[in-house]
Structure 1
Amino acid sequence: MKEIKSFVRRNSRLTDSHKKHLSQSDGMLYTQIPFTLLQQQRFVGLEIGFGMGDSLLDVAAKNPDQLWVGIEVYEVGVASVIRQAKEKGLENIIVLTGDVMDFLEREQAHQLFDHIRIFFPDPWPKKRHHKRRLVQGKSLDVLASIMKPSAVLHFATDHLPYAEDVELVLSNSQYFKPLAVVPFRPETKFARKAKEAGVVITDIAVERI
């Protein structure tokens, strides 16, 4: 996964405001996972690829007793979350910018998270690009290793072939079993546009064995 990325860096112009929030993050922005802090928490959630942060901000606001970590490669989204979290007075969000596998492939991340959310990752629809998908192979093993027993993995996509592949790989995994009830997922702007266009959104939820 370090050689084959699950994302492509796109040019995104950082405004002066974005730069200000990145440099004045009020302790929200980290360059690496603060393992000691996370290990002291009762509940730690992780959202991978949070985009502009709508769902991350929603879950943090509704669960002030939980600590939520967001990892996103696009700095504009990171700056947006920092700004909105400060405006809303949310103190239970930590954000990191970069490749999720660079952060998680470390011994200290073992059994760290109670809930992991991956909403609408790049589906890499062309067959020759399937090796870049986030939920498959080695990356799935990493996700399993960082989850506590009974932790939840919630995956959502608007790309049906990707959903079918994820369902297959999860059903064949020794680490997970299906979850009877899919957790709540807020309807973000992206999801709303997909529904309006008649695109089917698939939610998949499993529990760490």
Structure 2
Amino acid sequence: MRRFAEGEGPSPDPAGSHFERRIRSFQPRRSRVTLSQGDALRRLWPKWGIEIDGKQRLDLAEMFEGRPVVLEIGFGMGEATAQMAADDPDTGILAVDVHTPGQGNLLALAERNGLDNVRVANGDAIILLTEMLRPDALDGVRVYFPDPWPKKRHHKRRIIQPEFLTLAAARLKPGGFLHCATDWEEYAEQMLEVLEAHPDFTNSQPDGGYTPRPAFRPLTRFEGKGLDKDHVVHDLIFLRGTEETD
């Protein structure tokens, strides 16, 4: 694996011991990076990279020059993120992941396509939401194809839980959206159940249920593999209520 000297690229554990180790919904993956990904990380991380260390509050208005901002949690290799950024240059995307090759790939795509509306954050999205974002800072949150943790004893690791929804609602502006997508049928059912039950969110579908696949969500590599296996993909788009969130 390509290793980075201090200051060269993303840290393997940006929050360090500053926060109690909770149950995590992800597994850090500092796997092998290609030469082009490593080059992008070394050159572009100081410009477009953010360490989720929990020590600072981010000024998203300054960072994205006043654009509305969407938080994307988990972006894989970044192709879909880059496509959405290119299709909607007036929206800022704060993309969070712990996969080093994907971080490098997204930075390279952003540079290649002139995408100045993308920032790449490294670390735990829960620490980012809890410690580094102000209330009502976000216009949307995207969680596409999160780890389904299929074994029952691991279901507590799934990110879409009531506690996460309460935290996300506190960081969303009134009327802001939470958009989830999964090809894991049982997880989709759980997502729908906890979202329908949460007092801070309302289903964007007047009759309830899942949302038809929106045209703005690109087909991801991971999604394509699932479709090849006859998996059914479910989208869920819920809106934060207009009442003030504590």
**Fraction of identical pairs, as percent:** 36
Q: What CA distance in whole angstroms lies between the structure 2 residues aligned with 1:51 and 1:134?
A: 16
| 2:217 match | 185
User: Partner letter of residue 119 of structure 1?
Assistant: Y
| 1:31 match | 51
Number of equivalenced pairs: 209
Q: What CA distance in whole angstroms lies between the structure 1 residues aligned with 2:181 and 2:147?
A: 11
- Cα distance per residue 1:57-79 (max 9 Å; x no partner): 11110111111110001111000
- Cα distance per residue 1:77-133 (max 9 Å; x no partner): 000000011011111101111111121112743111111111000001111111100
- Segments of structure 1 that go 5 or more residues without pairing to the other structure are none
Q: Which moved more, 1:11-20 or 1:168-177?
A: 11-20
User: Partner letter of residue 38 of structure 1?
Assistant: A
Q: What is the TM-score when the length of structure 1 is the normalising length?
A: 0.92
CA contact (8 A) 2:57 2:134 kept: no
| 1:43 match | 68
In the TM superposition, what is the alpha-carbon distance from 1:46 to its structure 2 partner? 1.2
1:68 is aligned, of 93, 102, 115, to: 93
SS in 2 for 1:109: coil
In the TM superposition, what is the alpha-carbon distance from 1:197 to its structure 2 partner? 1.5
Runs of 4+, deviation exceeding 6 Å: none
SS in 2 for 1:124: coil
| 2:10 match | none
Higher Cα radius of gyration: 2
| 2:15 match | none
| 1:195 match | 227
In the TM superposition, what is the alpha-carbon distance from 1:11 to its structure 2 partner? 5.0
1:7 is aligned, of 3, 11, 26, to: 26
- Segments of structure 2 that go 5 or more residues without pairing to the other structure are 1-19, 206-210, 242-246
User: Partner letter of residue 127 of structure 2?
Assistant: D
1:151 is aligned, of 166, 176, 190, to: 176
SS in 2 for 1:207: strand
User: Partner letter of residue 195 of structure 1?
Assistant: L
- Cα distance per residue 1:125-149 (max 9 Å; x no partner): 1111111000103222111111110
**Root-mean-square deviation over aligned CA pairs:** 1.9
Cα distance 1:200–1:207, how it changes in 2: closer, same or farther (>3 A)? same
Q: Which moved more, 1:181-190 or 1:147-156?
A: 181-190
In the TM superposition, what is the alpha-carbon distance from 1:35 to its structure 2 partner? 2.2
Q: What is the TM-score when the length of structure 2 is the normalising length?
A: 0.79
